[in-house]
Amino acid sequence: MDGIILIHKPKNLTSHDIVRQIRQILNIKKVGHFGTLDPMATGLILVGVGKATRFFPFLSKLDKVYQGRMRLGFATDTYDAWGKPISSEICTYPDKETLLAAMRKYEGDILQQPPPYSAKKYQGKPLYYLARKKQEFKTVPVRIYIHHFRLTGFAPPSIDFEVKCSSGTYIRSIAHELGQDLGCGAHLSQLSRLEVGRYHQRDSFSIEEIKSYSSKKQPDDFLIPMESLLPELPRIILNETGSICAMHGNIIVPENIMRILPPEATQPVPVFDQEEVFRLFNPETRFIALAKKGASGNVLQPFLVTETK
């Protein structure tokens, strides 16, 4: 079984909990996720099964859309509602125009400090481990991109928002830093992931639904196959000779190509090492490899092969 599953993660479970449960349900060891959701958060998580786990360099870097709620008035040590207050509560809140002006500063290309309680590492250890041990450490700002940061509800001390951001963005940090800018403190109280790239929460499945489909031996009802992944990349159909070359990681020459088809989707996908990437299929249209242009320019060099026979 190879492909990805769109899972709706409930509250109080970690992303690893989801992976562990999918392993048990499908009885497959090779399972991984393409982007962590905090235990407090709910919503869409992409889970790779079998050979699809090798697509991590692509699917983990897709843009994401979240909806959430912040609580104005005080900050916490974890930057969310599960943490301990680190400031006195303030009951004087900014007006809507002041809030909107502050939010606009977070759109575009910015540097963000990761939360002290996060999986980011310092000298080989996760920050959350060092924070719990009360050990000192330094965090390095990470460059992220915020496509939009919109106010969707204003009822202080709670404010609702939607944000579309690049991979690696911590919404908790946005809430914390916005509270500092406003002078009243803030923390994240609710969060749900709505989209990962072209994938939507509305198309996701609960763990119980995966159990039901699996027990009925109906994986096609929940599994997105390898052939449907990365539709933003051009598709190349190879002849038999080209397919054998690709499966052995050898270069593909023009004579090996039967057809070149345009991308099936217009949404951009992160490319490997900033080079154009192509999906390679055999004559039966089975996905066999990813490739990029070779040094000479008129050949293709496979770099991720999923079919070897």
pLDDT in tens, 265-306: 776 655 555 678 899 999 999 999 999 987 777 899 999 999
Residue 147 near residue 67 (C-beta atoms within 8 A)? no
User: Is residue 248's pLDDT more than 70?
Assistant: yes
In sequence order, the 6+-apart residues with CB closer than 8 A to the CB of 198 are: 62, 231, 232, 265, 267
- Per-residue confidence at 131, pLDDT binned at 50, 70, 90? low
CATH number at 248 reads 2.30.130.10
- Per-residue confidence at 84, pLDDT binned at 50, 70, 90? very high
CA 152 from centroid of its chain's CA atoms:
23
Same-domain status, 46 and 125: no
pLDDT on residue 295: 76
User: Is residue 307's pLDDT more than 60?
Assistant: yes
Residue 86 near residue 77 (C-beta atoms within 8 A)? yes
Same-domain status, 166 and 115: yes
- Per-residue confidence at 140, pLDDT binned at 50, 70, 90? confident
Provide mean pLDDT across the span 222-249.
Answer: 94
Using CA of residue 267, residue 269, residue 274, residue 277, what is the dihedral sign?
negative
Same-domain status, 181 and 68: yes
pLDDT on residue 264: 83
Tokens of 110: 């910015």
Same-domain status, 205 and 110: no
Number of domains in the chain: 3
Q: What is the per-residue burial (b if ≥16 Cβ within 10 Å, else e) of 14-25? A: ebeebbebbbeb
Summarised one tens digit per residue, pLDDT across range 91-124 is 999 999 999 999 999 999 999 988 876 666 655 6
Query: Which one-letter amino acid corresponds to residue 121?
Result: K
The last residue of one of the domains, among 196, 214, 246, is 196
Q: Which residue has the higher pLDDT, 138 or 38?
A: 38
pLDDT on residue 251: 92
Residue 39 near residue 12 (C-beta atoms within 8 A)? yes
User: Is residue 213's pLDDT more than 80?
Assistant: yes
Using CA of residue 274, residue 275, residue 281, residue 282, what is the dihedral sign?
negative
Residue with tokens 């996760």: 126
Same-domain status, 217 and 243: no
Tokens of 132: 């719990």
Share of the chain above pLDDT 70, in %: 90
Rounded distance, CA 61 to CA 41, Å?
A: 19
Residue 45 near residue 37 (C-beta atoms within 8 A)? yes
pLDDT on residue 155: 97
Provide mean pLDDT across the span 125-153.
Answer: 76
Q: Which residue has the higher pLDDT, 76 or 272?
A: 76
Same-domain status, 20 and 123: no
Provide mean pLDDT across the span 251-261.
Answer: 93
Output the CA–CA distances (angstroms, integers) from residue 256 to 18, 48, 109, 234, 291, in the order listed: 42, 30, 42, 16, 14
Provide mean pLDDT across the span 51-61.
Answer: 91
Summarised one tens digit per residue, pLDDT across range 14-43 is 999 999 999 999 999 999 999 889 999 999
Provide the 3-class DSSP secondary structure of residue 150. strand
pLDDT on residue 253: 94
Catalytic residue (one of 2, 17, 38, 80): 38
CA dihedral 43, 49, 52, 56 (to 10 degrees): 50
Same-domain status, 186 and 73: yes
User: Is residue 141's pLDDT more than 90?
Assistant: no
Stated as kind and residue range, the H or E segment containing 172 is helix 171-182
User: Is residue 194's pLDDT more than 80?
Assistant: yes
Provide the 3-class DSSP secondary structure of residue 63. coil
Share of the chain above pLDDT 90, in %: 74
CATH number at 40 reads 3.30.2350.10
Residue-number span of the structural domain to which 253 is assigned: 230-305
Stated as kind and residue range, the H or E segment containing 209 is helix 207-215
pLDDT on residue 122: 54
Q: Is 109 tagged catalytic?
A: no
Same-domain status, 43 and 74: no
pLDDT on residue 298: 86
pLDDT on residue 276: 84
Residue 160 near residue 69 (C-beta atoms within 8 A)? yes
Residue with tokens 């919109």: 150
Provide the 3-class DSSP secondary structure of residue 189. strand
Same-domain status, 169 and 96: yes
Same-domain status, 87 and 161: yes
Among left, alpha and beta (phi > 0; psi -120 to 50; other), residue 172 is: alpha
Same-domain status, 101 and 163: yes
Same-domain status, 106 and 56: no
